Amino acid sequence: MTLDLSLSTKQSLDLSPTRTRTLEVVDKSNRLKSTSLGGKMVAEYWDNIFTAKERGKHVVWYNGTALNPIFQAAGLEWCHGEAFSARLAAMHLEGPAQQAGEEYGYIAELCSYARTHLGCAVMTQKGITEKQSGIVGMVDQDQLASKLPSPDFFVNAYAGCSTGQQWDAMTYRVFGKDFPIFNVSLPMIWGNKKDSGYLRGTEWEKTPLYVEEQLKKLIEFIEYQTKKPFDWDALSENMSYIKRASELRLEAMALCAAAPTPATYWDWVASIAPINFLPANQLLVDYFQAVKDEIQQRIVNNISAVQNERYRVYFDGIMNWNKLGFLTRKFAEFDVAVVAGRYTHDSFWQEPQLIDLDRPLLGMAQHYLICPINHGLKIMEELLLKRCDEYAIDGIAFHSTRTCRAMTNPQHILARTAERDRGIKSFSFEGDVADAAFYKDESLESGLVAMLESIDQQRAKV
Amino acid sequence: MHELESVAFSVLETVAADPVGYAVEWKRRTGRPVVGSFPMNFPSEIVHATGALPVIVQESRTPITEGRSLLPEFYCSYTRSVADQAAVGELDVFDAFVLADHCVQLLGAADVIRWAKPEKPMHFAQFISSMDDPWSGAQVRDKVASLRVEVEEIVGVTVTPEALRASIRAFNVNRHLLRRFYELRKTGRLRVSARQLQVLVKSSMVMEITEHTELLESILSGLELPSEPPDSLVRLHLSGHFCAPPRPELLDLIEECGVLVVNDDLYHGTRYISTDVPEDGDPFDALATWYLDRNVSAPCGTRVQRNVDWDSYLVDSLDDSGADGVITLMAKFCEPLMLYYPELRKVLDARDIPVLLIETEHEGLAAESIRTRVETFVERIRRQKLKVPTLA
């Protein structure tokens, strides 16, 4: 018998990349429309920052918690390092900054927020030097990463991650130690006393007072830098907007306990920038009112955020900014509604009742301390189970965030706790906040499918 | 380099190789508690003053097994090892744990211990890491007071000022003796390997301090110090490696390449023994002062201080020791060192001081690859030293 090879030899080889041959997947996600306004607000905010020097404004670079109401009241322009790194990554423009950081000597395993932002610092510093020397270089290119105005001073207020404080100590050095720096020290809420817990116990009562005192000193520092008296009334007013925006945000989040959910974790991710660092004003309140209104309308009209919602998942881990749209579609593809997450639901003014407009600094201090990476394990277990109960969670996606040890710290144990105490299944996938190189799609997909099968088996037993 | 070889040194060598074994034996012998602490700034004196044994928990040489499912792979070797030791029961000898540093990875490991050994007290008094703020001193004093309460509760003994003063003196004496070895090495009068010096410091982190001091005195009294190092050896400074000691075989490998290690700023080295606790005044305040002073006498990349720099300290240290270059030993995933390293390199490059970065891991040592790099580095230094000045 002879083999007939004519058929195969006549076929042309398909050398196109595998990806192009993947069947087009229908997007089953249904994102909120109102959050697009937030995108415009954020873009305008950064455009405004880029012209700060031309307008003769003082610029503060800061990292960590949301000090912006203080900066706003002081008439400053503020650049949040993580926010800018996240924005670059979300726009897939992080490359030049990360390359600048790499050339400076930062190793790829270092926090990618820090690496990106330090790269920006290197580029901005290089820009200062080039302007002084008259050399036209990177700063004149239309690269977003090089547009940050140089700081007049730095403020660091990093909770729960030792890297955060050291990161700014290095930024300070990259700029030749030419600019003043102020450090707010935020102790971890360790939660090991007998009376300890979320928002309770002697540790909780005592620690914010220490931070409040530092915030007073911060304001003295800002007064010295700006040579202007601080506007305390403006701070109270700013916090009134923050408080109202936060209340609306939480009310809207609570509506998402409905099944199917009218909005998802990805919508709340898109709303992080507004609540985290945009100016506190009526626009901010209007934004969250619009988000809440849309969610309410969706409930009335029975509109789901994910077509055919079959699984409700909690997202633990910091956001993978390179993959926001991709992950939104990816989870929806598997009928998964990611309804809540540690990053979105346990951060960013999430306890507005703590804000006292007559004593705003205390409420701010308290919020800075309840950053979701600033708790010991016991409190994190408490919060995770609370959220799982509130949102009727079936499973947990742990984003094993390669260069963010702070967010990854307790994940293996939290997974065991959820399984032990609630029978909730989970999986981990690899990725990173601002470095796409660490994301592995196969890791996500295989883990997700395995978890969903476990959930199906669990349901079949009931 | 055999000047240290003695019975006393072999005892220290055994302790350094098996810290938990020593703690078990000490506990059996004395019937008193053993309290584990973590790098790099816990004041062991306060535990010692209760009669308990303070032991700085060391990275274990055993491969990481159970710990792999408790902390991610991208944590430093020390924290992953601590998590593993907790999970497999290697830390059972400890009656409690105390820590003062807030390295994000270390806190992850501490949480694993809390989870794996819920019955063991685990106290955390977070020392402020911003060292020169107006409130820094008060904060550290407050945390020392908090440590005192916790340690007293753990051991069931009140820490009297007198007992604490005695412990401070004991630790100061021990540090002084250890520094003597370093000074002799720097002058070249003592031919001692980096491995041997590591044994001296590491064992001091584990042993009852007066017992350790007696052995150090015994070794010192037996030393013969006539020799000078051969000129052909390249003099190097070892930098970096917080928390855990570099593997001894790595130190051997470096020295096999024609290197004389004359100084270091390793935690298991100069950094650990750099600073004494003041012996006058209130002893509890003195512990706070020690913490703040320490970052001045041996600046650390994990601290924030505007008027102090690790890089300038390093350059001064090189001037002092006459080192020709620097090998930076970076434990993989150590963020403080990853952050600071470019600043070190920038300053060393500006001074034309050769620097070599070696990344280390818990398991495995790419010995031949590292050997090639070190040999090349040494050759580069030799050529640089031989460089003929160009004519103007």
Which tens digit of pLDDT belongs to each residue from A124-175?
887 666 554 433 344 444 466 668 899 999 999 999 999 999 999 999 999 9
Average pLDDT on A316-328 reads: 94
Cβ A171 vs Cβ A61: under 8 Å: yes
- Residue A147, pLDDT score: 80
- Residue A117, pLDDT score: 94
Cβ B325 vs Cβ B234: under 8 Å: yes
Structure tokens given for B212: 């350790």
Cβ B370 vs Cβ B253: under 8 Å: yes
Burial class (CB in 10 A: 0-12, 13-18, 19+), B189: middle
- Residue A129, pLDDT score: 61
Are A409 and B130 in contact (CB < 8 Å)? no
Are A188 and B102 in contact (CB < 8 Å)? yes
Provide the chain A residues 30-49 that lie in CB contact (below 8 A) with chain B. Answer: none
Chain B residues with CB inside 8 Å of A210's CB?
Answer: 135, 139
Q: What are phi and psi for residue A398, nearest 5 degrees?
A: -95, 115
Cα–Cα distance measured from residue B162 to residue B152, given in angstroms and rounded to the nearest whole number:
15
Q: How many cross-chain Cβ pairs, A to B, lie less than 8 Å apart?
A: 124
Burial class (CB in 10 A: 0-12, 13-18, 19+), A360: buried
Cα–Cα distance measured from residue A325 to residue B191, given in angstroms and rounded to the nearest whole number:
63
Closest CA to B323 of B253, B261, B248: B261
Cα nearest neighbour of B105 on chain A: A405
Cα–Cα distance measured from residue B94 to residue B106, given in angstroms and rounded to the nearest whole number:
17
Q: Is A183 on the interface with B (CB under 8 A)?
A: yes
Q: What are phi and psi for residue B293, nearest 5 degrees?
A: -65, -35
Cα–Cα distance measured from residue B237 to residue A349, given in angstroms and rounded to the nearest whole number:
48
End-to-end, the C-alpha distance of chain A in Å comes to: 58
Q: Is the pLDDT of residue A322 over 70?
A: yes
CA distance A404 to chain B (A): 10
Cα nearest neighbour of A178 on chain B: B306
Specify the DSSP class assigned to residue B41: T
Cα–Cα distance measured from residue A152 to residue B76, given in angstroms and rounded to the nearest whole number:
35
Q: How confident is the model at residue A75 (pLDDT cuts 50, 70, 90)?
A: very high
Q: Is A163 on the interface with B (CB under 8 A)?
A: yes
Q: Is the pLDDT of residue A19 over 80?
A: no
- Residue B228, pLDDT score: 67
Chain B residues with CB inside 8 Å of A185's CB?
Answer: 128-130, 133, 139
Cα–Cα distance measured from residue B101 to residue B264, given in angstroms and rounded to the nearest whole number:
22
Q: How confident is the model at residue A305 (pLDDT cuts 50, 70, 90)?
A: very high
Are B126 and A188 in contact (CB < 8 Å)? yes
Maximal CA-CA distance, chain B: 74
CA distance A231 to chain B (A): 24
- Residue B226, pLDDT score: 66
Closest CA to A410 of A363, A367, A346, A354: A346
Q: Is the pLDDT of residue A21 over 70?
A: no
- Residue A17, pLDDT score: 43
- Residue A135, pLDDT score: 38
| pTM for the full predicted model | 0.93
Cα–Cα distance measured from residue A382 to residue A386, given in angstroms and rounded to the nearest whole number:
6
Q: Is A196 on the interface with B (CB under 8 A)?
A: no
Structure tokens given for B83: 């998590």
In this complex, the residue of B104, B114, B133 whose CB is nearest that of residue A183 is B133
Provide the chain A residues 363-392 that lie in CB contact (below 8 A) with chain B. Answer: 373, 376-378
Are B104 and A161 in contact (CB < 8 Å)? yes
Are B133 and A185 in contact (CB < 8 Å)? yes
Cα–Cα distance measured from residue B360 to residue B330, given in angstroms and rounded to the nearest whole number:
6
Maximal CA-CA distance, chain A: 97
- Residue B389, pLDDT score: 61
Are A185 and B128 in contact (CB < 8 Å)? yes
Beta strands across the sheet bearing A311-316: A336-341, A311-316, A395-401, A425-431
Secondary structure (3-state) at B358: strand
Are B115 and A161 in contact (CB < 8 Å)? no
Q: Is B376 on the interface with A (CB under 8 A)?
A: no
Are B72 and A109 in contact (CB < 8 Å)? no
Cβ A312 vs Cβ A259: under 8 Å: yes
Are B69 and A378 in contact (CB < 8 Å)? no
What does each C-alpha distance from A202 to A105, A199, B7 come to in angstroms?
Answer: 43, 10, 52
Are A187 and B126 in contact (CB < 8 Å)? yes
Cα–Cα distance measured from residue A81 to residue A168, given in angstroms and rounded to the nearest whole number:
9
Closest CA to B84 of B103, B109, B101: B109
In this complex, the residue of A106, A177, A408 whose CB is nearest that of residue B342 is A106
- Residue B342, pLDDT score: 97
Q: Mutate which of B146, B338, B360, B361 to disrupt the A interface (most A C-beta within 10 Å)?
A: B338
Cβ B367 vs Cβ B249: under 8 Å: yes
CA distance B97 to chain A (A): 12
**Bridge partner residues of A306 (DSSP):** A29
Chain B residues with CB inside 8 Å of A156's CB?
Answer: 304
Q: Three-state secondary structure along chain A?
A: CCCCCHHHHHCCCCCCCHHHHCCCCCCCECCCCCHHHHHHHHHHHHHHHHCCCCCCCCEEEEEECCCHHHHHHCCCEEEEHHHHHHHHHHCCCCHHHHHHHHHHCCCCCCCHHHHHHHHHHHHHHHHHHHHHHCCCCHHHCCCHHHCCCCCCEEEEECECCHHHHHHHHHHHHHCCCCCCEEECCECCECCCCCCCECCECHHHHHHHHHHHHHHHHHHHHHHHHHCCCCCHHHHHHHHHHHHHHHHHHHHHHHHCCCCCCCCCHHHHHHCHHHHHHCCCCHHHHHHHHHHHHHHHHHHHCCCCCECCCCEEEEEECCCCHHHHHHHHHHHHHCCEEEEEEHHHHCCCCCCHHHCCCCCHHHHHHHHHHCCCCCECHHHHHHHHHHHHHHCCCCEEEEEEECCCHHHHCCHHHHHHHHHHHHCCEEEEEEECCCCHHHCCHHHHHHHHHHHHHHHHHHHHHC
Cα–Cα distance measured from residue B156 to residue A441, given in angstroms and rounded to the nearest whole number:
54
Cα–Cα distance measured from residue A227 to residue A146, given in angstroms and rounded to the nearest whole number:
29
Q: Is the pLDDT of residue B130 over 70?
A: yes
Are A170 and B343 in contact (CB < 8 Å)? yes
Q: Is the pLDDT of residue A284 over 80?
A: yes
- Strands A311-316, A395-401: parallel, antiparallel or unpaired by DSSP? parallel
Average pLDDT on B107-118 reads: 96
Are B301 and A166 in contact (CB < 8 Å)? yes
Q: How confident is the model at residue A2 (pLDDT cuts 50, 70, 90)?
A: very low
Cα–Cα distance measured from residue A76 to residue A53, given in angstroms and rounded to the nearest whole number:
11
Which range is least confidently modeled, A1-5, A338-342, B87-91, B262-266? Answer: A1-5
Chain A residues with CB inside 8 Å of B72's CB?
Answer: 400, 405, 408, 411-412
Chain A residues with CB inside 8 Å of B112's CB?
Answer: 413
CA distance A282 to chain B (A): 37
Structure tokens given for B295: 């970052």
Cα–Cα distance measured from residue B380 to residue B354, given in angstroms and rounded to the nearest whole number:
8
Q: Mutate which of A161, A181, A405 to disrupt the B interface (most B C-beta within 10 Å)?
A: A405
What does each C-alpha distance from A281 to A69, A215, A242, A288, A319 come to in angstroms?
Answer: 10, 22, 8, 12, 26
In this complex, the residue of B102, B122, B342 whose CB is nearest that of residue A162 is B102
Secondary structure (3-state) at B96: strand
ipTM for the assembly? 0.94
Chain B residues with CB inside 8 Å of A178's CB?
Answer: none
Closest CA to A268 of A330, A319, A331: A319
Are B129 and A400 in contact (CB < 8 Å)? no
Q: Is the pLDDT of residue A203 over 80?
A: yes
Are B111 and A214 in contact (CB < 8 Å)? no
Q: Is B44 on the interface with A (CB under 8 A)?
A: no
Cα–Cα distance measured from residue A28 to residue A335, given in angstroms and rounded to the nearest whole number:
8
Q: Which is more confidently placed, A353 or A124?
A: A353
Q: Is the pLDDT of residue B385 over 90?
A: no
- In DSSP notation, B123-180 reads EE----SBTTSTTHHHHHHHHHHHHHHHHHHHHT----HHHHHHHHHHHHHHHHHHHH
Residue type for position A124 = T
Residue with tokens 């012996």: B279
Average pLDDT on A34-40 reads: 96
Cβ B206 vs Cβ B55: under 8 Å: yes
- Residue A148, pLDDT score: 86
Query: What element of type H or E holds B110?
Result: helix B104-116
Cβ B264 vs Cβ B254: under 8 Å: no
Average pLDDT on A434-452 reads: 96
Average pLDDT on A197-225 reads: 97
Q: What are phi and psi for residue B228, nearest 5 degrees?
A: -115, 145
Question: Mean pLDDT, chain A, as a whole number?
Answer: 91
Average pLDDT on A425-432 reads: 97
Q: Is the pLDDT of residue B172 over 50?
A: yes
**Bridge partner residues of B236 (DSSP):** B261, B325
Question: Mean pLDDT, chain B, as a whole number?
Answer: 94
Are A167 and B339 in contact (CB < 8 Å)? yes
Q: Is A112 on the interface with B (CB under 8 A)?
A: no
- The share of chain B scoring above pLDDT 90, in percent, equals 90
Cα–Cα distance measured from residue B199 to residue B194, given in angstroms and rounded to the nearest whole number:
9
Specify the DSSP class assigned to residue B269: I
Cβ A22 vs Cβ A329: under 8 Å: no
What does each C-alpha distance from A311 to A334, A425, A455 come to in angstroms?
Answer: 9, 11, 8
Closest CA to B208 of B80, B320, B55: B55
CA distance A120 to chain B (A): 15
Average pLDDT on A286-304 reads: 98
Q: Is A177 on the interface with B (CB under 8 A)?
A: yes
Q: Is the pLDDT of residue A1 over 90?
A: no
Q: Which residues of B146-181 are buried (b: 16+ CB within 10 A; e: fewer)?
A: ebbebbeebbebebeeebbbbbbebbbbbbebbeeb
Which range is least confidently modeled, A101-115, A224-238, B186-200? Answer: B186-200
- Residue B27, pLDDT score: 98
CA distance B145 to chain A (A): 15
